[in-house]
Amino acid sequence: MNEKLLAGKHLWYFEYYTGGDVGLFMKIARMVHSEQTPIQRIDIFDNPTLGRVFALDGITMTTDKDEFMYHEMLAHVPMFTHPNPKNVLIIGGGDGGTLREVLRHPEVESVVLCEIDRRVVEVSKQYLKTGEAFNSDKVELVFENGAEYVKKIKNQFDVIIIDSTDPTAGEGGHLFTQDFYRACFDALKDGGVMCAEAENALYDFNWTKIAYRRIKSIFPVVKAYVGFMTTYPSGFWLYILASKGLDPIKDYRFEAARAMSQQLKYYNEELHKACFVLPNFVKRTLEESL
């Protein structure tokens, strides 16, 4: 119906999903920023439907329209599972979206955000709404490979959130290794909680299985949960929560979650439980991966 749009004056963005024969395209109404850093290519552009879009190496990281779905689910499930999350580490997340959600929690005293690419934080502060979160004086920025950084830390954090890019792209692969998850375990205090984005169930399900199996070999409590993320491949996103003992369903702070959900667009105290109910093929595939 809109074939004429393909011709003419517009630029277009194509994100090829794993395999390369399916993907999402977006019209580029305005190219805002594009650069090649030593680590990866950063692109920021405006799309009439999705608003501002931020991509790394041709993989969509955030859009104004739907970034809340991913950031709320990645942050609030672990944050409300922990009874008192004072010290938080975010690995990756240089756009600031996860940081914004973590900072909503009044218990938080400090957040270390470890981002491998300084330029991601700099352009996010300049061009993205999510970048406003970096204005908080509770934030300490570390520009280093997350896997290297976390190895040096012991017994320091209540919650660690792994907000990585795809393992097949750029430097994200370092954040899916067994050594890395072990280092996260050691960097957590007793009673600590870790949460990792774990790719999608259609195009990159192997990465989910690998992450699940590796995390299961280290943490005593490991549960996968799901959420919509409409501009990520398939829209069907997985997360893995792991802890040193706390159960995300039995132990979460229901009343606090209910109170905060008033100001949120996705997460609420009932979804906190419902998101752990997995479709059969996801449940079976994860069980078989062990």
285 among the known binding-site residues?
no
CB of 63 to a copy of itself, least distance (A): 9
Q: How far, in Å, CA of 62 to CA of 223, rounded?
A: 25
CB of 173 to a copy of itself, least distance (A): 15
Torsion of Cα atoms, 263 then 137 then 84 then 255, to 10°: -10
- The residues binding a copy of itself (CB under 8 A) are 1-3, 5-6, 14, 16-17, 19-27, 29, 47-50, 57-58, 65-66, 69, 200-203, 226, 228, 230-231, 234-236, 261, 264-268, 270-271, 273-275, 277-281
Q: How far, in Å, CA of 76 to CA of 269, rounded?
A: 10
165 among the known binding-site residues?
yes
Q: Which CB sits closer to a copy of itself, 143 or 228? A: 228
| Cβ proximity of 36 and 193 under 8 Å | no
261 among the known binding-site residues?
no
Active site residue 186: no
Q: How far, in Å, CA of 60 to CA of 67, rounded?
A: 10
Supply 112's token pair. 């270390």
Q: Which CB sits closer to a copy of itself, 121 or 238? A: 238
| Chain length of the chain | 290
76 among the known binding-site residues?
no
Compute the radius of gyration of the chain from its Cα atoms: 18
- Given 66, 117, 158, 163, which residue is catalytic? 163
Q: Which CB sits closer to a copy of itself, 10 or 152? A: 10
CB of 47 to a copy of itself, least distance (A): 6
CB of 201 to a copy of itself, least distance (A): 8
Identify the sign of the CA torsion 209, 214, 215, 221.
Answer: positive
CB of 224 to a copy of itself, least distance (A): 14
190 among the known binding-site residues?
no
What does the DSSP 8-state code read for residue 273?
H
* Nearest partner of 70 among 89, 96, 48, 43, judged by Cα: 96
Q: Which CB sits closer to a copy of itself, 20 or 106? A: 20
* Nearest partner of 47 among 19, 14, 78, 23, judged by Cα: 14
156 among the known binding-site residues?
no
The SS3 assignment for 59 reads strand
Catalytic residues: 163
Write out the binding residues. Answer: 40, 71, 95, 115, 145-146, 163-166
Write out the binding residues for S-methyl-5'-thioadenosine. Answer: 40, 115, 145-146
